Amino acid sequence: MDENFPNKVISIRDNNLENNIKRFSKLVVNYWASWCGPCRIVGPITDDLAQELHGKIVFRKANLEIEDFNAVIKGITSVAIHPIPIKFPFPIRISANADLSTLFPLFSFPLHSLKFWNMPEMDIITPIHFGGILGLLKIPITFTTHYNFIPLAFTCVEKISVTVEEGTYDAWRIKSIIGDFFEYYYAPMVGNLIKVDINMPNGGMKGELKEKNY
């Protein structure tokens, strides 16, 4: 029995999950969401288990909803200086940390074919630091973007076999209904997303699972 193990369930985030895995030899993570009925049933059970198994197993919980995000973009942009008729390459660095006024529902458990759920009304507040050469010039700008409530915004389409760099998994294909902007894949075996494909009018993002650390 290890008395250094906590006797209660503590919330963790993606940025400290790896530290918990390295710190505790026996770790159970309960992935939950506020709109998930079964999660509300499992929550009190894990609270009791954390007390009963104190010193033997560590219990943590992680919210599957998006609360905030951050990003850093580096690259070269073209700058025109009038009246010179050519554009000059200019190195930039943009750092952003966005807060959501409400949680963003990536999933609605239990997942099954042709399940639908809503996107809530929300504001995304993004303070951005726009940096110039070597990051010495930093200009703070704050953007606020409002999104209206969208009923039946997302749907769980089907379970298919998906191959990513880390391996092949049976995963639920989830997509946005309006505009086909979001498409992502949730693998129950992994307990998280394994592939993301975002196509917005002004840009997009793709990502996939490269390796597991457990």
CA atoms of 180 and 174, how far apart (whole Å): 10
Angle at 74 between CA 69 and CA 209, to 5 degrees: 55
Q: What SS3 class is residue 193?
A: strand
| pTM of the entire predicted model | 0.52
Instruction: Tell me which of 9, 29, 36, 156 is the catalytic residue.
Output: 36
pLDDT, tens digit only, all 214 positions of the chain: 555 677 788 777 655 777 777 888 888 888 777 666 677 788 888 888 888 888 888 888 887 666 555 555 555 555 555 566 666 665 656 565 666 666 667 777 788 898 998 888 877 777 766 665 555 566 677 767 777 888 888 899 999 999 998 899 999 999 988 777 889 999 988 878 889 888 766 556 788 888 876 5
- φ/ψ of 202, rounded to 5, equals -110, 20
- φ/ψ of 167, rounded to 5, equals 160, -165
CATH superfamily of 10-63: Glutaredoxin (3.40.30.10)
156 is catalytic: no
Helices and strands counted in the chain (H then E)? 2, 13
| CB 170, CB 156: distance < 8 Å | no
Instruction: Tell me which of 17, 21, 39, 157 is the catalytic residue.
Output: 39
36 is catalytic: yes
Domain ranges of the chain: 10-63, 66-208
CA atoms of 108 and 123, how far apart (whole Å): 21
